Structure 1
Amino acid sequence: MPEQFEDQGGVSTMDPSPFRRAAGSFLMRRWSDPRRLAARRRRIERARRRSGERHVVEYFHQVDDGYSHLAAQCLRPLLDTYDIDLVCHVVGDPSGQNAPEPELLLDLSCYDSAQIGPHYGLSFPDDARRPDAGPVDLAGRILAGLDPEDFVDVAPLVGEGLWSGSDEALQALAERHPPAEPSTLAQRRQTGTDRRTELGHYSGAMFTYGGEWYWGVDRLYHLEERLTELGVRRAPGDLIAPRPAIVNGPRKDDGSLTLEIYPSLRSPYSSLIFDTAVDLARETGVTMSMRPVLPMVMRGVPATREKGLYIFTDAAREARHLGLDDWGNVHDPIGEPVRRGYSLYPWAVSRGKGVELLSAFFRAAFWEGVNTGKDRGLRRVVERAGLPWDEARGIVGNPDWEEELEANRVAMYGFGLWGVPSFRLLDGAGETLLAVWGQDRLWLVGREIQRHLEEREKGL
């Protein structure tokens, strides 16, 4: 099965040399070191004070991206709450190796934004679909024609008209805010995209401040916490966009709901949420279906250094938010270590220890810096999972796992997702109730479980 995927080489290689693996692991540990982060922030703040500059946050808005519409609704509250300057840019779509599935990503931004928006007090139409090129162009030209100080108030209105499919609303906005010429839109979009690239990112709905990036409403709380620590908040109060808590009660299921969990043994995000996801399934009483997949680069999906840097530094701060302060001592398991781990998975499942094996592998690779490509490291994983190494060593490297993991990948693409960790909640008839991607969506899974159990109680 792995032979069908082409090795992309470079930073996307699925089989790095021992030197490259060691070097990459060293960099990952540096990126996740909270002491280095704190020191870097202090240097940046000292430089800002010496220069006399104000606190400047930059925001990058992608017109046809649902996440950008949610983020735009936070711009005015951000300015009202914090004493900052806010510079807004219009940008183009992610491209090249930073966007391996651009069409799926746009569709996901519609679905996902509708799911999470209400929980943040933000609006997004339930039935929104990817808008056509004409309305997207008009929306972009309206934004490109705005004076900078008007962007924060007009962008949410433009997004509301665009995502609701209301041509009338967009035309009314165009009458009040004359659209720029197409050439002006193209120029401003390119300028914004170039600025984003210069600063080291590739996505829409991104905020940046002091050398760090914050994605949309999901990561706004990290930015808010940083600004609050700097004393920039105008008055005491709640965060604009706090991360919703993960709930596992009060209602309990009888196993009629099924939670599918799609992790990958090389995924930083999978590693830090895996045990919590398992606990959620067990504590709520839903049936848990574990469906591991190969890491993206081992599926021939390319990556870039800037994307890898963002993912790992973001995962590190998400781990700290979850109280996992010891996370980040990583020994990258990409390639043969992942294959060796998965080669034991069917056997572990047959012994009732499949979940324990994956959990132990994550602990070794992302907490303890264990080289899981060596027998000594893999033995540590196996024995921590409560399995006998003498038996495991005789089956390491078998291909029995490949067909199952490929079926899991195909299933994941079948409901519109391609990254990990992903979660799918099914009803008793096997119909999809929710399908989401990201460790930052487990809170939504927990709330959907409770919502469906409440509806069942009421006979709805």
Structure 2
Amino acid sequence: MSEKFKDQGGASSSDPSRLYRWLTSKLFMSRLASLRYQTKLRAKFERHRLNAGTPHIVEYFHQVDDGYSHLSAQLLSAISKRYDVTVVCHLVSATQDANAPEPQLLSDLARQDAIHIAPHYGLHFPDCKTVPAKALVDLAQSILAKQTAQGFIDCLVEVSTALWNHDQTRLAALAERLGAATLSHTIVRIQQGNAQRVKLGHYSGAMFYYGKEWYWGVDRLYHLENRLAEQGLDHRSDAPALAPRPEIESGPLVDNGSLTLEIYPSLRSPYTAIVFDRALKLARDTGVKLIVRPVLPMVMRGVPATREKGIYIFTDCAREARAAGVAFGPIYDPIGEPVRLCYSLYPWACEQGRGNELLSSFLHCAFAQGINTSKDSGLRQVVERAGLNWNKAREYLGDSAWEAILENNRLTMYAAGLWGVPSFRLLDKNGEPVLALWGQDRLWLFAREIQRLLKAG
């Protein structure tokens, strides 16, 4: 093994875990996060498409009992009319594998989340307390399974709206007017949709696919719209995007600490890495009380991560970071011991008033500078960039006090109906929860909710 390889954070063949970390960091994570790599993939796809003489095809995967799919359905017709693309729709079911480790929690969160974000996108979602009953889901699927390609798009909003309104009478009337497929035919259509989704490399509903890239629901539609516009496929290039990226609005009102914003970050989460500093800034700018509750990474909590999910996460995170003007990549995966060691310093760092700085420094080093935090030299950079003394920090390395703190944070997060990171909770002046959601792409919603509460007094 060359010294050059070792200097880059590699390891000898006798240490396969470190070798694997180096390979996945350099050849997988960092590559997927690279703008150059994305640009080359897009150019290659367009060359092949032109040579084959195929049209611009956007594939959409609709899951009828998924709240995000109901929102996406409301924009499907507008997409097909505004952009010079052929929209191909697939009927799919919820994933039943390691890509969906908490299916019931995800279903409930998707419904609640969709209720909150719909008005901000000019869309509608009924304020329902539960997902539709299975009988209604089956009926909606059978109606859609009966439709032709264009018919699917034409009736989708009407069918989905009746379903999410729990309106059995309306669905029955639609089945009478539009037709409904047999159970066996419906199952085949769903199996075909699921197979195509797997073939292309994804696992969720409400997904758009174009040119080797995935775009999740209304939240990522702006990435797809930008890409199509850059290729001259937008018939209304002078008009606003159908689903523009919401901005984080921190003003004009400033709180006196009556509201509380809780942040649940993880040190191995790329999404945490691109939003953590912005969340701290939002708290400072708005004057709300800030409570940071770090938790263990999901994979270190026994939640599996698949290759498909990894590819999507790092590709998507890189796009989100670039759109927000946040540094992301190169990456050096800190999973395992580096995370534990940093967390072992966290209680001490908090005593020094530098807890948030330690987390921020670690995330930046691992996910924006590709620093090997499994080495003393890398961890020292983390500590010193956080404004802490490395020699003093070494006295606390390996301390176990953090374990009880993080476990309590995890239990609090789950009690709020959340499990992924980063998650956020906003508490009112009485300490009662007002909003609890998962995802870096919800910080804008918390910013708006803070302003709404301050305005209401």
Aligned-partner Cα distance in 2 for 1:347–1:361: 15
Show CA shifts across 1:313-345 (max 9, x none): 100010000112x41111100000000010000
2:6 aligned partner: none
Aligned runs of 1:191-206 on 2, under 5 Å? 191-206=192-207
Residue aligning to 2:291: 289
Q: Which residue of 1 aligns with 2:310?
A: 308
- Aligned equivalent of 1:18: 18
Please state whether the residue corresponding to 2:87 is helix, strand or coil. Answer: strand
What residue in structure 2 maps to residue 298 of structure 1? 300
Conservation of the 8 A alpha-carbon contact between 1:128 and 1:164? no
Other-structure match for 2:324: 322
Equivalence map 1:143-158=2 (5 Å) = 143-158=144-159
Kept after mapping to 2: 8 A contact 1:68/1:205: yes
Shift of 1:235: 2.4
Q: CA deviation at 1:128?
A: 4.2
Q: Displaced runs of 4+ in structure 1, greater than 3 A?
A: none
Contact 1:128–1:163 (Cα < 8 Å) also in 2: no
User: What are the equivalent positions in structure 2 for 1:51-90 lying under 5 Å apart?
Assistant: 51-90=52-91
Which residue does 1:264 correspond to in 2? 266
Determine helix, strand or coil for the equivalent of 2:98: helix
CA contact (8 A) 2:128 2:164 kept: no
Do the aligned partners of 1:268 and 1:315 also contact (CA within 8 Å) in 2?
yes
2:366 partner amino acid: A
Partner of 1:129: 130
SS of 1:64's partner is: coil
Would the aligned equivalents of 2:93 and 2:194 in 1 still touch at CA under 8 Å? yes
Kept in 2, the 8 Å contact 1:129–1:163? The answer is: no
Alpha-carbon distance change, 158 to 128 in structure 1, aligned in 2, over 3 angstroms = farther
Secondary structure of the 2:119 match is helix
1:394 aligns with 2:403: no
May I ask how many residue pairs the two structures share in their alignment? Answer: 441
Q: Deviations over 1:207-238 (max 9, x none)?
A: 00000000000100000011011111112221
Offset at residue 426 of structure 1 (A): 0.5
The aligned amino acid for 2:311 is L
CA distance in 2, matches of 1:355, 1:107: 31
SS in 2 for 1:433: strand
For the residues of structure 2 that align with 1:87 and 1:179, how far apart are their CA atoms?
20
Amino acid paired to 2:21:
R
Query: Which shows bigger deviation, 164-173 or 76-85?
Result: 164-173
User: Structure 2: how far apart are the matches of 1:95 and 1:311?
Assistant: 19
**What SS class does the counterpart of residue 74 from structure 1 fall into?**
helix
Q: How far 1:16 moved relative to its partner?
A: 7.4
Find the aligned partners of 1:38 and 1:128 in 2 and give their Cα distance.
43
The 5 A counterparts of 1:30-429 are: 30-236=31-237, 237-324=239-326, 326-429=327-430
CA deviation after TM superposition for structure 1 residue 441, in Å: 0.4
Partner Cα distance (1:381, 1:161) in 2: 53
State the distance in 2 between where 1:160 and 1:360 align: 46
Q: Which structure 1 residue ranges, 5 or more long, are not aligned?
A: 1-14
Give 3-state SS (helix, strand or coil) of 1:94's partner.
Answer: coil
Q: C-alpha offsets along residues 404-430 of structure 1, whole Å, 9 cap, x if unaligned? A: 101111111111111000000011222
In 2, distance between residues paired with 1:165 and 1:411?
A: 32
Q: What's the CA shift for 1:264?
A: 0.2
Give deviations 1:292-319, integer Å, cap 9, x for gaps. 0000000000110110110011000100
Residue 110 of structure 1 aligns with an amino acid whose one-letter code is R
